[in-house]
Structure 1
Amino acid sequence: MYKKMKYGNLEIDIPVDEKNIIQVIKSNEVKVTKSEEQIIQDAIEHPTDSARLKELVHPGETVCIVIPDVTRAWQRTDKYLSKLVDEINAGGVQDKDITFLSATGTHRSQTKEEHEELLGKELSKRFKIIDHDCLDKDNLVYLGKTNYDTPVSINKIALNCDHIVITGGIIYHFLVGFSGGKKTILPGIASYETIMANHALSLSKDFGGGTYPTVHSGNIENNPVHIDMLEAASFVKPDFMFNVVVDKNGTIVGAVAGNYISAHAKGRKMVDDQDGVNISEKADITIATAGGYPKDINLYQSIKTMINARTATKDNGTVIILSECREGLGGDEEMQSMLLNFDTSEEREKDLRNKYSISKYVGYYFCESGDKFNVILVSSLNPDLLKRTNITVVKTIEEALELAYKTNSKDATITLMPQAANTLPKLKQC
């Protein structure tokens, strides 16, 4: 039985009785028989519900390739962008008619070095990257409202091109269910107002309800954030999509191309096959780790671990998170304010609704978790930082278990999640 977990640079033993462990949740083994290059090329040559990209474009036409920003470097753009450019060139489009636009969303602008990292050495000699600015109203075009009343304004540079190609990667996402696909449009190249209106759909309709119940990792059914993003993308209608799927080591193990809706559906299945783990029951106690440093460098980076661990745990059960947090809370001032400056979920929710941001939502989610579960954090964090939340901070797993057994019996069922940031438990429906 696997009973070791990573914490910072260490691997520590989890001192629990094996008879109480009902499951160890790890990524599924997915056999890959092709190289990264073959996987990329196969997807480009065999797109889903679409002609090949080289047939969609024509000489004299302009193409905008929308790419991730450097915070999504795991998507390995330097591996596949050159092949997309080759395909577009094969359709008769010259380099001068190709524009690279980075889908920064609300993120900062990037450095020349970061642009080179995204394009790779060879493409960097041929092309420049333009960073989207969600606050630059002169470079945004209002297109209309979604059925959720989200005002959709999109980058003018993309809209002025004859063709829009969106790129990126697909993993579980705690708001929209899965990243990639239409997410390159909203939030990628949308206005600040558009992004905030969409993301605010992650909260329940009525004050006091907290997070919207169907907004969570791996779910698109009745997920208003997902549906709203799809509606926003319908104003733009990207001509072609290319998305990758990577494993826990960052290796490209899958790729999809073509229609941005149906190709993305194929990519979601790849992610589920790799990182979606069926469970037959939820545990009284879940012990989870992101996988050590740098994944547990700060509390902010541990949000995926918390989200996935909650999914494996019974209501009002105990969630033990191993997260060293050597660089403290992380995030920005808004996220930290959620933890430090409020005493109740109602106060936090009011502030979040008043001026929504992803950072605030992350802070709120941690605090909501402390209200709904018995959350114990094994960490080097100063416990005083979380004293206004219902999250208990201890230094060792032994201390955490001692506390857990005060609210759960010694015979409590236990689930271990050694790769919690990347694995999503899925309860089998009877």
Structure 2
Amino acid sequence: MKRVNMKYGNTTIDVSIRMDNLLGVIESNKTCSHKTEEEVVIDALKNPIGSNPLGEIVQKGEKICIVISDITRAWQKMNFYLAFIVDELNEAGIEDRDIIFLCATGSHRKQTKEEHRILLGEKLAQRFEVIDHNALDQEQLVFLGKTSFGTPVRLNKLAVEADHVLLTGAIVFHDLAGFGGGRKSILPGIACYESIMANHALALNEKVGGGSNPSVRCGNVKTNPIHLDMIEATNFLKPSFLFNVIIDGDGHIIKAVAGGYIKAHEMGQKMVEQMDGVSIKEKADLVIASAGGYPKDINLYQATKTLSNAKEAVKNGGNIIILSECIEGVGNEDVRQIIEDYENNVERECAVREEFSVAKYIGYDMAQTAKRFQIIFVSDLDPDLMKKIHIQVVKTVEEALTRVYKEKGENLKAYFIPYGANTLPKYKQ
């Protein structure tokens, strides 16, 4: 038997299958680095891509808005690297009173003071407040124009009025934008709700009944309208500097990029491709994938990223088992609505088009995926939640495997994906 220890919430689960059924464990490509996390961060800040060093960009007395990610992305370890950015600003003559931390919540919920402390780390939290962006507060938004895709660009006025905007975050594969990080800190991060929905609506084909746009997928930016629209929106603001990290499967900062918000992010994309884009020689009958534990499996909304990656390693009609605790449940009621209130995917697509929301699209996309594969979630979710889209929910891996083997037999070629939210299997015939 082959046993793999996989993360589930804040715990781990041992999963076993027969060795003769194992095609492999799909994990990030190992990168050789003898640098500490501190050295990685400092090296990136000292060697910016496409811009001058941060200390040469800012001047004493200027207002600095640092855009940070929210608690669902605490795995990015901003509580570690933000201190180095603040130190560099202070050394350039920027005083604490001229620094604003604006949290790119996008359409996510407001956060608690304790979550703000987690994001900044104890020392910075004693010096600074965190302001949560509110996508629905029109008084806090400034209209800057429209993109060529027709997306209205309304952004948080704290960023618009600042002398310099600094983007922070992490770069990973993203099922809608191609890659996370970079311009996502602006749209959806600090944009109005209407901007976010207009941008993400580009995930659908222009033709009604056409379903999802095939250009909207992990790893694609060249023809991805969501990414291209985000870049246009970000260009209205022209952030002064970007700092993004790349995290390995053990949660360590393995690489970082800094500098111009386009060029530095493009370099980071290449790094992620090299590290997390994993070539496979064949597709499996069965894939068992973990999101990678908390907070990547904090709710169903976040867990769908793992499903998006896992499906790339499975034959049509094959089985996918997703380990995702979902301690906060669905995460967004629009996901629940699109799953439960409609009888088929035609109705779901119409509902998404009529009044688009990111969460509705995620629910719809999951329903589309469930038409191609047989999916079981090992989760604390309500077992009845996804019955209408024919996704099963069970409490244990053993129960999931028993159901699969009972229907398909035990002679199934399988992959493990321990960090499914990050790792993208890439199959070429």
The TM-score normalised by the length of structure 2 is 0.90
Instruction: State the alpha-carbon separation in 2 of the partners of residues 244 and 187 from structure 1.
Output: 19
The TM-score normalised by the length of structure 1 is 0.90
Residue 298 of structure 1, CA deviation: 5.4
The answer for the alignment partner of 2:400 in structure 1 is: 396
Equivalent pairs counted in the alignment come to 423
The answer for the alignment partner of 2:369 in structure 1 is: 369
The answer for the alignment partner of 1:350 in structure 2 is: 350
The answer for the alignment partner of 1:147 in structure 2 is: 148
**Inter-CA distance 245–224: structure 2 relative to 1 (3 Å threshold):** same
Residue 320 of structure 1, CA deviation: 2.2
**1:341 matches 2:345:** no
**Inter-CA distance 351–258: structure 2 relative to 1 (3 Å threshold):** same
Instruction: State the alpha-carbon separation in 2 of the partners of residues 93 and 385 from structure 1.
Output: 51
Instruction: State the alpha-carbon separation in 1 of the partners of residues 110 and 375 from structure 2.
Output: 36
Superposed CA offset, 1:75-110 (max 9, x none): 212212221122122222222222221111122333
Superposed, 1:82-97 pairs within 5 Å as 82-97=83-98
Query: Which SS does the other structure have where 1:385 is aligned?
Result: coil
Q: Which amino acid aligns with 1:102?
A: C
| Stretch of structure 1 that moved more, 294-303 or 231-240 | 294-303
Superposed, 1:57-68 pairs within 5 Å as 57-68=58-69
The answer for the alignment partner of 2:330 in structure 1 is: 330
The answer for the alignment partner of 2:281 in structure 1 is: 280
Superposed, 1:96-175 pairs within 5 Å as 96-175=97-176
Do the aligned partners of 2:7 and 2:418 also contact (CA within 8 Å) in 1?
A: no
The answer for the alignment partner of 1:309 in structure 2 is: 310
Unaligned runs of 5+ in 2: none
Do the aligned partners of 1:135 and 1:192 also contact (CA within 8 Å) in 2?
A: yes
Instruction: State the alpha-carbon separation in 2 of the partners of residues 404 and 223 from structure 1.
Output: 37
Do the aligned partners of 1:78 and 1:120 also contact (CA within 8 Å) in 2?
A: yes
Superposed CA offset, 1:42-83 (max 9, x none): 111110111111111112222211112222211212212221
Instruction: State the alpha-carbon separation in 1 of the partners of residues 184 and 32 from structure 2.
Output: 28
Do the aligned partners of 2:2 and 2:17 also contact (CA within 8 Å) in 1?
A: no
**Inter-CA distance 298–164: structure 2 relative to 1 (3 Å threshold):** closer
Instruction: State the alpha-carbon separation in 1 of the partners of residues 366 and 130 from structure 2.
Output: 36
Instruction: State the alpha-carbon separation in 2 of the partners of residues 417 and 121 from structure 1.
Output: 34
Superposed, 1:198-277 pairs within 5 Å as 198-277=199-278
**Inter-CA distance 349–47: structure 2 relative to 1 (3 Å threshold):** same
Instruction: State the alpha-carbon separation in 2 of the partners of residues 138 and 158 from structure 1.
Output: 14
Do the aligned partners of 1:5 and 1:291 also contact (CA within 8 Å) in 2?
A: no
Q: Which amino acid aligns with 1:321?
A: I
The answer for the alignment partner of 1:80 in structure 2 is: 81
Residue 168 of structure 1, CA deviation: 1.0
**Inter-CA distance 43–291: structure 2 relative to 1 (3 Å threshold):** closer
Residue 349 of structure 1, CA deviation: 1.1
| Stretch of structure 1 that moved more, 58-67 or 20-29 | 20-29
Residue 422 of structure 1, CA deviation: 2.6
Residue 398 of structure 1, CA deviation: 2.5
Superposed CA offset, 1:245-265 (max 9, x none): 111222111111001111111
Q: Which amino acid aligns with 2:96?
A: D
Superposed CA offset, 1:309-352 (max 9, x none): 211123x3312214364759522322112222221001111111
Superposed CA offset, 1:375-418 (max 9, x none): 3445676654333113345633022123234xxxx766443333
Superposed, 1:170-209 pairs within 5 Å as 170-209=171-210
| Stretch of structure 1 that moved more, 162-171 or 281-290 | 281-290
Residue 115 of structure 1, CA deviation: 2.2
**1:419 matches 2:419:** yes
Do the aligned partners of 1:329 and 1:336 also contact (CA within 8 Å) in 2?
A: no
Residue 22 of structure 1, CA deviation: 3.4
The answer for the alignment partner of 1:39 in structure 2 is: 40
Do the aligned partners of 2:246 and 2:253 also contact (CA within 8 Å) in 1?
A: yes
Superposed CA offset, 1:97-150 (max 9, x none): 222211111223333322222222222233222221211212211111111100
Do the aligned partners of 1:379 and 1:396 also contact (CA within 8 Å) in 2?
A: no
Do the aligned partners of 1:320 and 1:400 also contact (CA within 8 Å) in 2?
A: no
**Inter-CA distance 35–326: structure 2 relative to 1 (3 Å threshold):** closer
Superposed CA offset, 1:198-237 (max 9, x none): 0111111122222211212222121111110001011111
Percent identity between the two aligned chains: 48
Instruction: State the alpha-carbon separation in 2 of the partners of residues 187 and 194 from structure 1.
Output: 8
Superposed CA offset, 1:256-313 (max 9, x none): 1001111111212222222211112323443333356776565444312211121112
**Inter-CA distance 181–295: structure 2 relative to 1 (3 Å threshold):** closer
Q: Which amino acid aligns with 1:97?
A: D
Cα-Cα RMSD: 2.5
